[in-house]
Amino acid sequence: MIVYEDKTSFVMTEQHEHALLSEGFAQHWKQEHFLGIDKRDSVLYAIAQHDRAWIDVDESPLWNDEAQVPFTFVDFPISLKLHFYKKGIDEIEEKNLYAALLCSIHYTQFFKELTNDKRIILFVNKEISRQKRLLNKLNLYETDKNLVFHYNLLKFCDNISLFVCMQEAGAIGDKVHNWFENGLTQPFSFFKEFAFHAVWKSQNEIMVNPFPFTEEFKLSIPLRHVPKDLVKQQGILKAFHDAPIQNRTVEIISK
């Protein structure tokens, strides 16, 4: 679950909805900057499904007793998180081997820093084995430039979708989430800028520079404002499902 809070509510977005929003960004990526265009359908599938691990989890949001807020994808209990990560990648592999490879790479990159947690080490090692198996089946190398581009596109679309979901619409200055203070990672050789800069120009407009898309466009994502008073009265599960679904619509503009 993606969660931020205002004075009266927890604003909650289901992870799979965020992933579908990520695909919306990928759909508008400039074709001339899309390496390995023959894999486009598989890449879009990977981006759309990369957080399907959270579908069952977000159906029943959990309460963090220590912090007195709902658990988010950042602080969710690691054993459960790893279990569902594997489940999600398994499901993607049943449908599309290349998409599963991209998603496996994506998840193992979360843990690229050294850790002594045996649960994480086991998960990463199993996913690296999966990646080697899939690379062999697909007759690819992990350094393949198209594969590297496709992973970077997944990561970029994931990040810009989070920019939409993780903070209040129209956030500027110190209201911007600290993940985005220095812009979004720019790993693509076609753009000279060091980072992508995403800025809320209004409550429903986000300016992106450099602009990697074919045209300006609109996207929507469902979310819920879950009243804190209702959580105290009913608990997080019932309060979440009783809160009406609202759509946040944003227009992605170049200037």
Amino acid 16: pLDDT: 98
**Residue 102 forms part of a structural domain:** yes
Domain span at 134: 2-168+225-248
**Residue 105 forms part of a structural domain:** yes
Amino acid 161: pLDDT: 98
Count the domains in the chain.
Answer: 1
Distance from C-alpha of 182 to C-alpha of 111, rounded to nearest angstrom = 22
**Residue 209 forms part of a structural domain:** no
Query: How far from 233 is each of 64, 115, 226, CA to CA, in Å?
Result: 16, 39, 12
**Residue 188 forms part of a structural domain:** no
**Residue 184 forms part of a structural domain:** no
- Hey, how many other C-beta atoms are within 10 angstroms of the C-beta on 148? 15
Burial of residue 77, with CB atoms counted within 10 A of its CB: 0-12 exposed, 13-18 middle, 19 or more buried = exposed
Amino acid 115: pLDDT: 85
Nearest 5°: the CA angle 52, 55, 56 is 130
Residues of the chain scoring pLDDT < 70: none
**Residue 180 forms part of a structural domain:** no
Question: Which of 211, 163, 161 minimizes the C-alpha distance to 191?
Answer: 211
DSSP conformation class of 177: -
- pLDDT tens string 86-114: 999 999 999 999 999 999 999 999 998 87
**Residue 219 forms part of a structural domain:** no
- pLDDT tens string 38-64: 999 999 999 999 999 999 999 999 999
**Residue 254 forms part of a structural domain:** no
Distance from C-alpha of 46 to C-alpha of 50, rounded to nearest angstrom = 5
Amino acid 121: pLDDT: 96
Distance from C-alpha of 209 to C-alpha of 193, rounded to nearest angstrom = 9
* Residue 187, preceding peptide bond in cis (omega within 30° of 0): no
